[in-house]
Structure 1
């Protein structure tokens, strides 16, 4: 029998080039299992944004990216290969530490990228949590926002990854929303432990994220009181989150108390705060309405008199996934608890305008909406985290 082959397409690039070895056949049909080495070279005045391969996925082309000038791609399905480049001036202000692994509770190592303004010391930290329906994407998709938030040298930005819900990671047992929330708390615990190494201040943290990451970032801000080792739904009425990572020598109680004073503000973008969109649950008879409500930020907002957690919420007016009513319901819950909140509707924008990918359309959307509203978000975080509020 003839060996299986797959079609490999080399995408056109601008402001740089890449070569693939071994060279592809004219028809692009490559034998299964072939390892292709991709080498990228930016044009003068540009630097590598990412090398990548892409495959069809839930949200169109799904990108698997590398931030190194040379990387390998294994041919195991039809793929596109390419590279994107950005002006050197756009990233001259920041140093990036890629792929810091903070835990591995399942098949996938959990990691984050650190964006540190050059010369940073004791800056507030903004933790960014990506979207993708809780089952796709990783921390790379938020690098455009991280770059914008670090301009001006006011903040360190850290973009984190987490387990995907269900069996999307290939884990033997399905991951629930509880697992994802525990991963995000674990990432923050790791970031706080190493904050000084990144030029950051562990006692001043803001959280943001878009779509599914909007849900997770709002959860980080509102549910800290329930970080603990009592289990989630194992005892009636007890719903606690055990972070996927704890620093050596620190109990979960100590970590919770540190987070209660450190996490001071949230900016969830076009997020999911309650309702049926959160119905990604385990097939477990213990999962009742109380369990479901316990993963919803909508039902976790603390009274401002107990703990203030200012919010900046935004949504595109042409968002076909997240409605104005969904955001307004959360805003109203914040207001009812006396929390400071600003809700901004972004005229003409659709969903995911804070995403960054190699394709021209995503980057153009980010340029049109993401850049401006990243500056608005940065002003919000400065008002809370700078110490001048």
Structure 2
């Protein structure tokens, strides 16, 4: 009798407990999405090689599965009408980077957001995070440029941060060619990308580059301790757990000393003179405390910051607006905050960058 393949399978007991906790705490539509993801039989990323991890079903795959079950189209252009896409290349720190430009309806020049996807700096790409970037374009009435930065372990820390800054430099010089307004630029990102968005605002200030008008940071990594309140509370949560974050970081850094680098340990960075920041968190997420700590650090440094925490949803919820009510709320909130930034005093960006 053949031996079943148990490589990378989640621990059955831990899996059962995780599902039971989610059933008590998660919204009904979040549970439906989690069940759809479970039906795709994802393995435990922390037990896999990088190549295997990159092949695992994503929450975006689960969204498509759920839509198909409901008899709805999963075509992005139908889910978010009025946003067209074009693939381009932007300048990275070591060569060109692929990017997707999302352009909403409207008379230009339009504001422009540089967007960084999640995936722990190791897995995923801009296509996996299409839902967040596309939704933000529609809600903010802005062109969104979602860029694929170099990933670890092939390109370890700080390659992604170097690419993010290079992409920002490129955008400040080329926004007009995209139909954008160079005076109304912003940064945004999810998870690892939420970290990159804030870190790039810091790096742009230090490099004397034009400042973004706003930063939207969705469930960012903001510090490197795995012992925060939410890491302990959501240690076995899905789709992100404590062991998985350690796996990402182990593949990212060259040595443990880099865990104290303020591009990773953002809460210890010089956060003065930054643009207003919006932080979005999920309650059922190991990274929830990172967002709270970043909010406190930004406020202590004298910045304008707002943070919203969404109950009943988990990490990766933001891009699932096609099936999650809270994701639609969060995208609308992020869009509203960006629209407020576009409408604000044009001198704010220059003052912050000075």
Q: TM-score range by the shorter chain?
A: 0.5 to 0.7
Q: 1:120 to 1:111 in 2, by over 3 A?
A: farther
Whichever structure has more strand as a proportion of its residues is: 1
2:184 aligned to which of 197, 204, 208: 204
Q: 1:89 to 1:136 in 2, by over 3 A?
A: closer
Q: 1:145 to 1:291 in 2, by over 3 A?
A: closer
**Residues 127, 160 of structure 1: 8 Å contact kept:** yes
2:214 aligned to which of 265, 278, 281: 265
**Residues 145, 370 of structure 1: 8 Å contact kept:** no
1:338-358 C-alpha deviation (Å, 9 max, x unpaired): 2111111101010111236xx
Q: 1:120 to 1:156 in 2, by over 3 A?
A: farther
**Is 1:297 matched up with 2:284?**
no
Aligned to 1:40: none
Aligned to 1:110: 97
Deviation of the 1:183 alpha carbon: 0.4
After superposition, the CA RMSD in angstroms is: 3.1
Q: 1:328 to 1:90 in 2, by over 3 A?
A: closer
Aligned to 1:143: 130
1:179 aligned to which of 133, 155, 159: 159
Q: 1:382 to 1:328 in 2, by over 3 A?
A: same
Gaps of 5+ in 2: 1-41, 43-50, 62-72, 226-244, 349-354
1:282 aligned to which of 239, 254, 260: 254
**Is 1:195 matched up with 2:178?**
no
Match runs of 1:1-389 below 5 Å? 57=53, 60-61=56-57, 85-86=74-75, 89-103=78-92, 105=94, 110-151=97-138, 154-167=141-154, 175-226=155-206, 256-259=207-210, 261=211, 263-276=212-225, 280-283=252-255, 288=257, 292-303=261-272, 307-319=273-285, 321-323=286-288, 325-355=289-319, 363-364=322-323, 367-387=324-344
State the SS of the aligned residue for 1:352.
coil
Q: Report the TM-score when normalising by structure 2.
A: 0.65
Q: 1:340 to 1:197 in 2, by over 3 A?
A: same
Distance 2:319 2:269 in 1: 27
Give aligned pairs, total: 263
Distance 1:204 1:94 in 2: 19
Distance 2:101 2:183 in 1: 17
Deviation of the 1:177 alpha carbon: 2.5
Aligned to 1:69: none
State the SS of the aligned residue for 1:151.
helix
State the SS of the aligned residue for 2:312.
coil
Deviation of the 1:380 alpha carbon: 0.7
Gaps of 5+ in 1: 1-53, 66-83, 168-174, 227-255, 357-361
**Residues 125, 206 of structure 1: 8 Å contact kept:** yes
**Residues 109, 176 of structure 2: 8 Å contact kept:** yes
Aligned to 1:170: none
**Residues 277, 305 of structure 2: 8 Å contact kept:** yes
Aligned to 2:33: none
**Structure with the greater alpha carbon radius of gyration:** 1
Quick one: higher RCO (CA 8 Å, sep 6+), 1 or 2?
A: 2
Distance 1:93 1:294 in 2: 36
**Residues 140, 339 of structure 2: 8 Å contact kept:** no
Whichever structure has more helix as a proportion of its residues is: 2
Q: 1:187 to 1:130 in 2, by over 3 A?
A: same
Aligned to 2:15: none
Deviation of the 1:118 alpha carbon: 3.4
Deviation of the 1:137 alpha carbon: 0.8
Q: Report the TM-score when normalising by structure 1.
A: 0.60
Deviation of the 1:190 alpha carbon: 2.1
Deviation of the 1:62 alpha carbon: 5.4
State the SS of the aligned residue for 2:271.
coil
Deviation of the 1:332 alpha carbon: 0.9
